[in-house]
């Protein structure tokens, strides 16, 4: 574990009060851990913006009765096979399916895959949630 460094920060009272409310609402047991996690969230976002390899999840909702859609979605995942780590499929009801696709790669490639899925007729939602490989977060 790396050495800990203590710092003091000047912050206006109204903003400090908001910080305290955020810490309390998030049920953190101390302010330091909350602030460490804020920094990690920023670093994770910068991973994606920097062009480094990022880990994320694409949530798809689609109508599986749309003609040829299942085959097109499968083709896209094969085209991006180096980036697709795992896929979970859930049948939501008679018409709609949900898929959670775990992806690893550069933001440009992953956004390209997400947008290509989104453009297909019958896809109701294709939403990328960016995560992190964790390499930059310690
Ligand atoms: Ni299904």
Residue boundaries of the structural domains of the chain: 13-49, 52-130
- Mean pLDDT score across all residues of the chain: 94
pLDDT band with cut points at 50, 70 and 90 for residue 138: confident
**In the predicted structure, residue 137 carries a pLDDT above the cut 90:** no
**In the predicted structure, residue 58 carries a pLDDT above the cut 80:** yes
10 Å CB burial of residue 58 (0-12, 13-18, 19+) is buried
**Cα–Cα dist 134/44, whole Å:** 8
Task: Let me know: does 60 contact 98? Beta carbons within 8 Å.
Answer: yes
Give, as one character, the DSSP assignment of residue 121.
Answer: T
pLDDT band with cut points at 50, 70 and 90 for residue 79: very high
Residue at token pair 């460094």: 5
CATH placement of domain 52-130? 3.30.70.1150
Measured in Å, residue 12 CA sits from the centre of ligand 1 at 52
- Other CB atoms closer than 10 Å to residue 49's CB: what's the count? 10
Measured in Å, residue 41 CA sits from the centre of ligand 1 at 33
Name the token pair of 11: 């912050």
Beta-carbon neighbours within 5 Å of ion ligand 1:
91, 97
pLDDT of residue 80: 87
pLDDT of residue 51: 84
Grouping H, G, I as helix, E, B as strand and the rest as coil, residue 111 is: helix
The residue ranges of DSSP E strands in the chain, in sequence order, are 53-63, 84-91, 96-106, 123-130
pLDDT of residue 1: 74
Measured in Å, residue 94 CA sits from the centre of ligand 1 at 8
Task: Let me know: does 107 contact 35? Beta carbons within 8 Å.
Answer: no
Grouping H, G, I as helix, E, B as strand and the rest as coil, residue 126 is: strand
**In the predicted structure, residue 124 carries a pLDDT above the cut 80:** yes
pLDDT of residue 52: 86
Measured in Å, residue 96 CA sits from the centre of ligand 1 at 7
Name the token pair of 37: 């996690």
Measured in Å, residue 77 CA sits from the centre of ligand 1 at 16
């Amino acid at each position: 574990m790396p050495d800990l460094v203590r710092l003091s920060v000047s912050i206006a009272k109204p903003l400090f009060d908001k910080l305290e409310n955020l810490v309390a609402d998030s049920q953190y047991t101390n302010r330091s851990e909350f602030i460490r996690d804020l920094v990690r969230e920023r670093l994770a976002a910068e991973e994606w913006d920097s062009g480094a390899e990022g880990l994320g999840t694409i949530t798809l909702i689609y109508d599986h009765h749309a003609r040829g859609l299942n085959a097109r979605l499968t083709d896209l995942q094969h085209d991006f096979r180096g980036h697709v780590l795992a896929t979970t499929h859930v049948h939501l009801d008679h018409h709609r399916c949900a898929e959670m696709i775990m992806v690893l790669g550069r933001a440009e490639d992953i956004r390209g895959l997400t947008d290509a899925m989104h453009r297909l007729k019958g896809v109701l939602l294709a939403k990328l949630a960016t995560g992190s490989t964790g390499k930059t977060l310690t």
